[in-house]
Structure 1
Amino acid sequence: MTTRNGLGPTMDAEPVSEELSFGPFRIFPRARLLERDGAPLSLGSRAFDLLHILVSRAGEVVSKGELIAGAWPGLTVDETNLRFHITQLRRALGESRDGEPYIANVTGRGYSFVAPVGRGVSPSKQVQSSETPPSSHLPPRPLRIIGREADIVALAELLAARRFVTLRGPGGIGKTTLATASAHALRGRFTDGVRFLDLGSLRDPQHVVIALASALGMLVPVGDPSPRLMDSLRDREMLLVFDSCEHVVDAVARLAEQIYQQAPGVSLLTTSRESLEVAGEVVFALAPLENPPESLSGETDLGKYSSTRLFMECAVAAGCSPSLSGAESEMVARICRKLDGVPLAIELVASRLSAHALIEIDELIEGRLRLAWRGRRTAPLRHQSLSAALDWSYELISPAERILLEYLSVFPGPFTIEGAVAVACESGEPGVSTDGFEQLIAKSLVSSRPEAGRLRFRLLDTTRAYATEKLAASGSANAAGLRHARYVLQALRPRSYEPGGESPGGWNCRAELLSDARVALAWAFSGEADRELRTSLAAVCTRLFVELNLLEECRGWAARALAGPDDADGDPAAKVELLWAFGHAAMFTERTGQECEAAFWQGLKLAQQLGDLQNQFRLLSRLHALYRRTDQRKLLLQVASLAQGVADRAADPAALARAHTFVGIALHLTGDQRLARERLQAGEDGDAAIPNLPVDHFASPRGTHILSCTNLWLLGLPDQAVGIAERLMRPNANPDLVMYCAGVCYAARVYRWTGDLGALEAAIDLLEGYSRKHGFGPMLTVSFALRGELHIARGDVEEGVKLLQSALPRMIADRFETHSGALTIALVQGLAALGRLEEALASMDARIDAVAARGDSWDTPELLRVRAELRSRSGDHSGADHELLAAMDLAERQSALSWLLRAASSRVRLSGSGDGVALAQLREIHGRFSEGFDTADLRAARDILQRASS
Structure 2
Amino acid sequence: MASRDGPGPIIDTEPVPDEFSFGPFRVVTRARLLERDGTPTSLGSRAFDLLCILVNRPGEVVGKAELMAKAWPGLTVDESSLRFHITQLRRALGDSQDGAPYVANVPGRGYCFVAQVGRAASPPKQAFLGEGTPNPHLPVGPARIIGREADIVALIDRLTARRFVTLRGPGGIGKTTLAVAVAHKIGNRFRDGVRFLDLCSLKDPQHVVFAVASALGMFVPAGDPSSRLIESLKDRQILLVFDSCEHLVEGVARLAEQIYQHASSVSLLTTSRESLEVAGEFVLAIAPLESPPENLGSKAELAKYPSTRLFVECAVAAGRSPPFTDAEAKIIGRICRKLDGLPLAIELVASRLSAHGLIEIDELIEGRLRLAWRGRRTAPLRHQSLSAALDWSYELISPAERSLLESLSVFPGQFTLQGASALASDSHEPKETTGVLEQLIAKSLVSSRPKAGQPLFRLLDTTRAYAKEKLAASGAANAAGLRHAKYVHQALTPRSYEPGGERPGGWAHRAELLSDARAALGWAYSDAADYDPEFQISLASVCARLFVELNLLEECRVWAGRALAVSENALKDGATKVELLWAFGHAAMSTARSSKESEAALWRGLKLAQEIGDLQNQFRLLSRLHALHRRTGDPRSLLEVSLLAEAVAIEIDDPAALARAQSFLGDAYHLSGDQRRAWELQQAGAAADAAIPNLPVDHFASPRGAQNLSCTNLWLLGFPDQAIAVANRLAEPSSNSDLVLYCGGLCFAARIYHWVGELSRLEEVIDRLENYSRKHRFGPLLTGSRALRGVLHVALGAVDEGVKLLQPGLLGMIADRFEVHSGPVAIALAEGIAALGRPADALASINARIDATAAAQGDSWEMPEFMRVRGELRARNGDSSGAEQDFLAAMDLAERQSALSWRLRAASSWVRHARYGEAAAMAVAELQRTYERFEEGFDTADLRAARDLLQR
TM-score (norm 1): 0.87
- Name which of structure 1's ranges 651-660 and 712-721 shifts more when overlaid on structure 2: 651-660
- Name which of structure 1's ranges 288-297 and 742-751 shifts more when overlaid on structure 2: 288-297
**Distance across 1 between alignment mates of 2:910 and 2:31:** 92
1:899 equivalent in alignment to 2:891: no
**Distance across 2 between alignment mates of 1:697 and 1:580:** 13
**Distance across 1 between alignment mates of 2:144 and 2:120:** 25
Alpha-carbon shift at residue 345 of structure 1 (Å): 1.4
**Distance across 2 between alignment mates of 1:105 and 1:699:** 69
**Distance across 2 between alignment mates of 1:866 and 1:707:** 23
User: Alpha carbons of 1:64 and 1:751: their partners in 2 closer, same or farther (altered >3 Å)?
Assistant: farther
User: Alpha carbons of 1:358 and 1:60: their partners in 2 closer, same or farther (altered >3 Å)?
Assistant: farther
Q: Which residue of 2 aligns with 1:586?
A: 588
Q: Which residue of 2 aligns with 1:299?
A: 299
Q: Which residue of 1 aligns with 2:563?
A: 561
1:863 equivalent in alignment to 2:876: no
What are the equivalent positions in structure 2 for 1:193-342 lying under 5 Å apart? 193-342=193-342
Q: Which residue of 1 aligns with 2:470?
A: 470
Conservation of the 8 A alpha-carbon contact between 1:135 and 1:193: no
Amino acid aligned to 1:405: L
**Distance across 2 between alignment mates of 1:268 and 1:50:** 44
User: Alpha carbons of 1:218 and 1:724: their partners in 2 closer, same or farther (altered >3 Å)?
Assistant: same
**Distance across 1 between alignment mates of 2:396 and 2:69:** 48
**Distance across 1 between alignment mates of 2:937 and 2:193:** 84
Alpha-carbon shift at residue 207 of structure 1 (Å): 1.0
**Distance across 2 between alignment mates of 1:668 and 1:430:** 59
Secondary structure at the counterpart of residue 848 of structure 2: helix
Amino acid aligned to 1:724: V
User: Alpha carbons of 1:385 and 1:116: their partners in 2 closer, same or farther (altered >3 Å)?
Assistant: closer
Amino acid aligned to 1:720: Q
- Name which of structure 1's ranges 809-818 and 711-720 shifts more when overlaid on structure 2: 809-818
Q: Which residue of 1 aligns with 2:935?
A: 930
- Name which of structure 1's ranges 54-63 and 272-281 shifts more when overlaid on structure 2: 54-63
User: Alpha carbons of 1:64 and 1:389: their partners in 2 closer, same or farther (altered >3 Å)?
Assistant: farther
**Distance across 1 between alignment mates of 2:616 and 2:691:** 20
Conservation of the 8 A alpha-carbon contact between 2:17 and 2:119: no
Secondary structure at the counterpart of residue 726 of structure 1: helix
Conservation of the 8 A alpha-carbon contact between 2:420 and 2:433: no
Specify every segment of 5 or more residues in structure 2 that has no aligned partner in the other structure, as ranges: 1-13, 22-27, 34-42, 106-111
Amino acid aligned to 1:858: W
**Distance across 1 between alignment mates of 2:590 and 2:64:** 61
**Distance across 1 between alignment mates of 2:911 and 2:828:** 22
**Distance across 2 between alignment mates of 1:32 and 1:755:** 63
User: Alpha carbons of 1:64 and 1:483: their partners in 2 closer, same or farther (altered >3 Å)?
Assistant: farther
**Distance across 2 between alignment mates of 1:171 and 1:791:** 59
**Distance across 2 between alignment mates of 1:20 and 1:920:** 90
Secondary structure at the counterpart of residue 376 of structure 1: coil
Alpha-carbon shift at residue 580 of structure 1 (Å): 1.1
Secondary structure at the counterpart of residue 300 of structure 1: helix
1:533 equivalent in alignment to 2:524: no
**Distance across 2 between alignment mates of 1:331 and 1:67:** 41
**Distance across 2 between alignment mates of 1:886 and 1:910:** 15
- Name which of structure 1's ranges 907-916 and 202-211 shifts more when overlaid on structure 2: 907-916
Q: Which residue of 2 aligns with 1:767?
A: 769
Amino acid aligned to 2:617: N
User: Alpha carbons of 1:903 and 1:45: their partners in 2 closer, same or farther (altered >3 Å)?
Assistant: closer
Q: Which residue of 1 aligns with 2:179?
A: 179
User: Alpha carbons of 1:699 and 1:238: their partners in 2 closer, same or farther (altered >3 Å)?
Assistant: farther
Q: Which residue of 1 aligns with 2:825?
A: 823
User: Alpha carbons of 1:81 and 1:609: their partners in 2 closer, same or farther (altered >3 Å)?
Assistant: farther
Amino acid aligned to 1:467: A
**Distance across 2 between alignment mates of 1:64 and 1:922:** 93
**Distance across 2 between alignment mates of 1:72 and 1:703:** 79
**Distance across 1 between alignment mates of 2:358 and 2:195:** 42
1:668 equivalent in alignment to 2:644: no
**Distance across 2 between alignment mates of 1:83 and 1:867:** 71
1:939 equivalent in alignment to 2:944: yes
Conservation of the 8 A alpha-carbon contact between 1:555 and 1:586: yes
**Distance across 2 between alignment mates of 1:499 and 1:673:** 34
**Distance across 1 between alignment mates of 2:654 and 2:481:** 39
Amino acid aligned to 2:117: V
Q: Which residue of 2 aligns with 1:597?
A: 599
Alpha-carbon shift at residue 190 of structure 1 (Å): 0.6
Alpha-carbon shift at residue 50 of structure 1 (Å): 9.3
Q: Which residue of 2 aligns with 1:40?
A: none
User: Alpha carbons of 1:80 and 1:555: their partners in 2 closer, same or farther (altered >3 Å)?
Assistant: farther
Conservation of the 8 A alpha-carbon contact between 1:425 and 1:433: no
Q: Which residue of 2 aligns with 1:449?
A: 449
Alpha-carbon shift at residue 513 of structure 1 (Å): 1.7
**Distance across 2 between alignment mates of 1:729 and 1:599:** 31
Alpha-carbon shift at residue 512 of structure 1 (Å): 1.7
What are the equivalent positions in structure 2 for 1:533-552 lying under 5 Å apart? 533-552=535-554
Deviations 1:410-461 (A, max 9, x none): 0111222221122226565999511000110110001123334433211111
Amino acid aligned to 2:833: L
What are the equivalent positions in structure 2 for 1:676-715 lying under 5 Å apart? 676-693=678-695, 697-702=699-704, 705-715=707-717
User: Alpha carbons of 1:84 and 1:354: their partners in 2 closer, same or farther (altered >3 Å)?
Assistant: farther
Q: Which residue of 2 aligns with 1:5?
A: none
Query: Aligned residues: percent identity?
Result: 68
Alpha-carbon shift at residue 496 of structure 1 (Å): 6.5
Specify every segment of 5 or more residues in structure 1 that has no aligned partner in the other structure, as ranges: 1-16, 35-43, 88-99
Secondary structure at the counterpart of residue 724 of structure 2: helix
Conservation of the 8 A alpha-carbon contact between 1:163 and 1:266: yes
Q: Which residue of 2 aligns with 1:880?
A: 883
- Over the residues paired in the alignment, what is the CA RMSD in angstroms? 3.6
**Distance across 2 between alignment mates of 1:72 and 1:739:** 73
Amino acid aligned to 1:313: E
The alignment of Structure 1 onto Structure 2 pairs a total of residues equal to: 899
Secondary structure at the counterpart of residue 649 of structure 1: helix
Q: Which residue of 2 aligns with 1:159?
A: 159
Conservation of the 8 A alpha-carbon contact between 2:663 and 2:706: no
Conservation of the 8 A alpha-carbon contact between 2:689 and 2:703: no
What are the equivalent positions in structure 2 for 1:698-847 lying under 5 Å apart? 698-702=700-704, 705-847=707-849
Amino acid aligned to 1:752: H
Amino acid aligned to 2:816: D
User: Alpha carbons of 1:78 and 1:45: their partners in 2 closer, same or farther (altered >3 Å)?
Assistant: closer
**Distance across 2 between alignment mates of 1:165 and 1:924:** 88
User: Alpha carbons of 1:205 and 1:499: their partners in 2 closer, same or farther (altered >3 Å)?
Assistant: farther
**Distance across 1 between alignment mates of 2:609 and 2:251:** 66
Amino acid aligned to 1:438: E
Deviations 1:313-354 (A, max 9, x none): 222222221332333333322222221111111222222233
Conservation of the 8 A alpha-carbon contact between 1:58 and 1:115: no
Deviations 1:774-820 (A, max 9, x none): 22222222222222222222233333333222221221111111122
Amino acid aligned to 2:176: T
Conservation of the 8 A alpha-carbon contact between 1:54 and 1:113: no
Deviations 1:673-708 (A, max 9, x none): 112112212222233334444896335353751111
- Name which of structure 1's ranges 879-888 and 242-251 shifts more when overlaid on structure 2: 879-888
User: Alpha carbons of 1:464 and 1:603: their partners in 2 closer, same or farther (altered >3 Å)?
Assistant: same
Deviations 1:273-315 (A, max 9, x none): 0011111111111111222221113433423322222222222
User: Alpha carbons of 1:20 and 1:790: their partners in 2 closer, same or farther (altered >3 Å)?
Assistant: closer
**Distance across 2 between alignment mates of 1:673 and 1:814:** 27
Amino acid aligned to 2:941: A
Secondary structure at the counterpart of residue 819 of structure 1: helix
User: Alpha carbons of 1:117 and 1:422: their partners in 2 closer, same or farther (altered >3 Å)?
Assistant: closer
**Distance across 2 between alignment mates of 1:244 and 1:84:** 45
TM-score (norm 2): 0.87
